Amino acid sequence: MAPALFKFSLKELQDLFTSGDIGALDIARSYLLRMSQVESKVKAYITVREREQILQEADTIDASLKQWRKTQPLMAMPLAIKDNICTHGTRTTCGSTMLEQFIPPYDATVVAACREQKFLLIGKTNLDEFGMGSSTEHSVFGPSRNPWNLNYIPGGSSGGSAAAVAADECVAALGTDTGGSIRQPAACCGVVGLKPTYGRVSRYGLVAFASSLDQIGPITKTVADAAMLLNVLAAHDPKDSTSSNCPAPDFMKSVKKKDVKKLTLGVPREFFSEGLDPDVEQHVREAIEVFQELGGTVKDVSLPSTEWAIAAYYIIATAEASSNLARYDGVKYGYRTKERKGLFDMYRQTRAEGFGAEVKRRVMLGTYALSSGYYDAYYAKAQSVRTLITRDFDAVFQEVDFLVTPVMPTTAFPLGEKLQDPLQMYLSDMYTISASLAGLPAISIPCGLSQAGLPVGLQLMGRPFEESTLLRAAYAYEQTTQWRKKRPPIR
Ligand code: GLN
């Protein structure tokens, strides 16, 4: 009988593995058993790799470790990867009919970095089609479920990754965040989600949604785990022209002691506005008090351009998406229609059949925003707003070291509730989008359970390339409170 190794955090599991108490096969068996118990309920994965393949890889790791035990941080660690990040030899669908059969001939840079450390790839997790959505309900494979209540959404678009971590179906996962898709599902599922600064982590091999916003980041059980994974992900990559040269510090140094003294945190009043659920607000306010008790200085601040963020985001993101998704034409790769009368008809039919309703809505919105005659009215205007939002942040970061806000105006909502109302769905990103537009790092950590027993998330946003400050503050909060110890019932 495999021991319940799936209960441990990444750091704990790594320590056990390095000490020699357990082997890679023990880990693999434990996780495979866990998957067999809960995956049919949670549906976190689009593709689970062959059992024999995973066991074989684990066996190879154990065999190579006979003589010595010094390992790399991710060795034998079972990770899940969002299904819009390319994995050599394992299909990468983006939750879309368009790429349902697509098997990448190469690894994304982040995947290559994990492979170098001999991690165990468990499978590819569910997402809204091409990352467009906040609930995973826009996946052609059907929605994933929230482990805290299976009738609720796990958030999105990285809902599969967050649900897999919360349900112990992997020890940690990679997600992607364009307007909140790491932080929002992490909040819905009661786990930690970190969106790094734009440029911190390579996007090479990430299927593009909105290139000026997309970032890959960790979804984990603890803050230390996020630091550990970010250490592997953060690196300059010559294959990504927007990848930064800014040297990455050792992020594990930020999660050693509870230390927020000398830090000033800002509370932006625009993030506590109408529409914020009182239950959520109360937990966030209590979290702010915890920071104060730990010796942090609290300051009320204002980010006046916040109210335009959603409007600007949905123009910029759809504009970029309409251009990025032009490549799916039935010629180069992916789906091609069976019914065709000539070339143009083939294009048209392929896209009509290959994309879902939300993707089509965005391609149309984006094409419209970019069309001549409307470009200045929409796209150029949205870019100006983006600059204003960035300036707001620059100004407050003169006074404070990081900002504290809710992640989402509500907790997770029931499956189906917002599916017919795109605008309501878009509003669930109102607190995450600003950091995306400004390219800032932001982390979501659990800060409570609502009266209905659903997780509440706390967002910390920081200066560009100061993930360490966020990790330090998040770690201090996490270690002072008990929320990380709560487990979802999965029923
Ligand atoms: N929910 C937002 C959207 O639908 C953000 C998605 C994301 O970050 N990938 O665009």
**pLDDT tens readout for residues 384-401:** 999 999 999 999 999 999
pLDDT exceeds cutoff 60 at 224: yes
| 187 Cα to the center of ligand 1, angstroms | 14
* pLDDT (tens digit per residue) in 317-344: 999 999 999 999 999 889 999 988 999 9
Of these residues, 9, 30, 135, 157, which one is catalytic? 157
Task: Quote the ligand 1 centre to 133 CA distance (angstroms).
Answer: 5
Centre of ligand 1 to C-alpha 214, Å, is 9
Nearest CA to 86 out of 53, 37, 47, 133 is that of 47
When pLDDT is cut at 50, 70 and 90, the band that residue 176 belongs to is very high
Q: Is the per-residue pLDDT at 460 higher than 80?
A: yes
Mean pLDDT for 286-293 is 97
Which of 196, 5, 183, 216 is CA-nearest to residue 112? 216
CA distances from 245 to 109, 202, 235, 453, 463 (A): 15, 11, 8, 43, 16
Whole-number pLDDT of residue 70: 72
360 pLDDT above the threshold of 80: yes
pLDDT in tens, 373-383: 898 999 999 99
**Atom in ligand 1 nearest the alpha carbon of residue 127:** 9
Calculate how far, in angstroms, residue 433's C-alpha sits from the geometric centre of ligand 1: 9
Atom 5 of ligand 1: nearest residue by CA position: 179
In sequence order, the β-bridge partners of residue 300 are 267
Instruction: Report the range out of 258-262, 459-463, 485-489 with the highest average pLDDT.
Output: 459-463
Q: Which ligand 1 atom is at minimum distance from the Cα of 180?
A: 8
Q: Which atom of ligand 1 is nearest to the CA of 433?
A: 5
- Flag whether pLDDT at 484 surpasses 90: no
DSSP labels, 93-115: -TTSGGGTT---SS--HHHHHHH
**What is the predicted pLDDT for the residue at 424?**
87
Question: Which of 83, 134, 183 gets mutated to test ligand 1 (max ligand atoms within 8 A of its CB)?
Answer: 134
pLDDT at 312: 97
477's CB contacts (< 8 A; 6+ apart) are 260, 287, 290, 291, 294, 445, 447, 458
At 5 the pLDDT is 96
Say if residue 102's pLDDT is above 90: yes
50 pLDDT band (50/70/90 cuts)?
Answer: very high
* C-alpha 325 chain-centroid distance: 21
Provide the pLDDT confidence category of residue 48 given band limits of 50, 70 and 90.
very high
Catalytic residue among 158, 181, 202, 305: 181
* pLDDT for the residue 3: 66
Active-site position among 9, 30, 43, 82: 82
Mark whether 19 is an active-site residue.
no
Q: Is the pLDDT of residue 215 over 70?
A: yes
Residue among 94, 132, 418 to mutate when testing ligand 1 (max atoms within 8 A of CB): 132
What is the predicted pLDDT for the residue at 333?
86
Question: What pLDDT was estimated at residue 68?
Answer: 60
The pLDDT of residue 67 is above 70: no
Please list every protein residue whose CB sits less than 6 Å from any atom of ligand 1.
131-134, 157, 177-181, 209, 317, 429
- Average pLDDT score, the chain: 96
pLDDT-derived band of residue 2, with 50, 70 and 90 as boundaries? low
DSSP state of 43: -
Q: pLDDT per residue over 70-97, tens digit each?
A: 779 999 999 999 999 999 999 999 999 9
CA 417 to centroid of ligand 1, rounded, Å: 17
> Is 118 labeled as catalytic in the residue annotation?
no
Q: Is 82 a catalytic residue?
A: yes
**Domains in the chain, start-ordered, CATH in brackets?**
3-266+281-301+395-485 (3.90.1300.10)
Confidence of residue 183 (pLDDT cuts 50, 70, 90): very high
State whether the Cα torsion 4-7-11-12 is positive or negative.
negative
Return the best residue to mutate from 178, 207, 316, 362 for the ligand 1 pocket (most ligand atoms within 8 A of CB).
178
Q: Is the pTM of this model over 0.95?
A: yes
Q: What percent of the chain has pLDDT over 70?
A: 99
